[in-house]
Amino acid sequence: MGRSILAVDDLTVNNIGTFAKILDFSRSKNSSNTTFEFTESWVENCLEVKDNCKLGYYDEIAVGLIKTAFINDTTVYIEALSVLPEYLEHGVFEKLVDFAITHAKSNNFQKVSVQTNNPQFESRLIEKGFIKASPDSVENLEARPAETVLTIDI
């Protein structure tokens, strides 16, 4: 059996610039879960919480990213999820979402939540089992009014 063409790997000082570029570019091409502007310090913080920040690879090329956060005792929140548009149909999105779910399970959380204003991402998340939820149903969520909240129980 050959190796997978898809991978999720750690963020390092050597690839933090790639993380930031993918985030900026994919947001400008509506290939991110949000149009929310992340600050430089937010990106740099990813190195401190590297278990929660990953790059998604297709054939050893970084083409996507995910940043999660533990926002309460039961929920892992996907703060950022971006995939370069050219790679959206190649399984990288699903691989990154699978990482979030596995990460939540391995840390004994019961659900994963995300906000999005991207209809394509919303439909892909629903295909993975996420359901629309009220922002009030996710404790400590800083709701962004123009975005839909989706959640999955794991």
> What is the pLDDT, as a whole number, of residue 13?
94
Closest residue by Cα to residue 65 from 97, 40, 104, 111: 97
CA pair distance 47, 89, nearest whole angstrom: 28
Q: Decide: 116 and 147 in contact? Cβ < 8 Å.
A: yes
Q: Decide: 26 and 82 in contact? Cβ < 8 Å.
A: yes
> What is the pLDDT, as a whole number, of residue 2?
66
Strands (E), 2-130: 6-10, 53-58, 61-70, 75-83, 111-116
> What is the pLDDT, as a whole number, of residue 116?
94
> What is the pLDDT, as a whole number, of residue 89?
94
Considering only the top CATH level, what class is 6-153? alpha beta
The per-residue pLDDT string of the chain (154 residues; one tens digit each, 9 = 90 and over) reads: 567 899 999 999 999 999 999 999 988 888 898 877 888 899 989 999 889 999 999 999 999 999 999 999 999 999 999 999 999 999 999 999 999 999 999 999 999 999 999 999 999 999 999 999 999 889 988 888 889 999 999 9
According to DSSP, residue 118 is labeled -
